[in-house]
A and B are shown apart, each in its own frame.
Chain A
Amino acid sequence: DVKVTQSSRYLVKRTGEKVFLECVQDMDHENMFWYRQDPGLGLRLIYFSYDVKMKEKGDIPEGYSVSREKKERFSLILESASTNQTSMYLCASIPGTGGISYNEQFFGPGTRLTVL
């Protein structure tokens, strides 16, 4: 069974802390994505990666960075957490073969981050 896992379901951090959100997929997918989900705004793409050590900015990359050292793992980093980064964070992956146009994108269960 296909699996995308995220390191935490719930996380509470303080303003200014460095925060790591981890995502692991076991499907050997090339493409991985980080979104944040907020009421009334839907899903917004933060960063994505087409391959190991590659990264591309999404629509809202400010205040975030990412790391992809291994194919199965894609980490989202909040260098200095702020209260406006309180949100639900969703990771997703999709195979490279056949491309995004035709394949199903698989999502993790999400991490609800609260920054105090």
Chain B
Amino acid sequence: GDSVTQMEGPVTLSEEAFLTINCTYTATGYPSLFWYVQYPGEGLQLLLKATKADDKGSNKGFEATYRKETTSFHLEKGSVQVSDSAVYFCALSDLSGNTPLVFGKGTRLSVIA
């Protein structure tokens, strides 16, 4: 079945450092890909998405490009802030039907001043 693998955390960075969180997927069709973020004490919220190959999703300085050839959707940000400290989840949705999202296990990011 479909699956998502993302790098294990925790990831600790200094403020203004460059961030990459790797995400690769396995799917039988051509899924939509998502990054969700969970700030401390809150539920998840959508950060960005891409629905077809070569699409780039972006929001709040974060970017991710849908790479079909490498089955990847890595999350990047050029300069992280303390307020970016959160847990980040990569997810996919199979276009073949109305099936639930498949989530990765999450990567905890801590940004220190």
Contact = CB atoms under 8 A, between A and B. Distances in A.
Given A100-B93, A100-B101, A102-B32, A4 B43 contact: yes
B94 interface: yes
A31 B98 contact: yes
B44 interface: yes
A109 B43 contact: yes
Contact of B89 (A33, A43, A58, A99): A43
Interface of A: 4, 31, 33, 40-43, 45, 48, 50, 58, 90, 92, 96, 99-102, 104-110
Interface SS of chain B: helix, strand, loop or mixed? Answer: loop
Contacts of B94: 101
B39 to A, nearest CB: 10
Interface residues of B, number: 23
Nearest to B93: A101
Contact of B104 (A42, A48, A105): A42
B43 A108 contact: yes
27 contacts: A4-B43, A31-B98, A33-B100, A42-B103, A42-B105, A43-B44, A43-B106, A45-B100, A50-B98, A58-B100, A92-B43, A92-B44, A99-B98, A100-B93, A100-B99, A101-B31, A101-B32, A104-B46, A104-B49, A105-B36, A105-B46, A106-B45, A107-B43, A107-B45, A109-B42, A109-B43, A110-B43
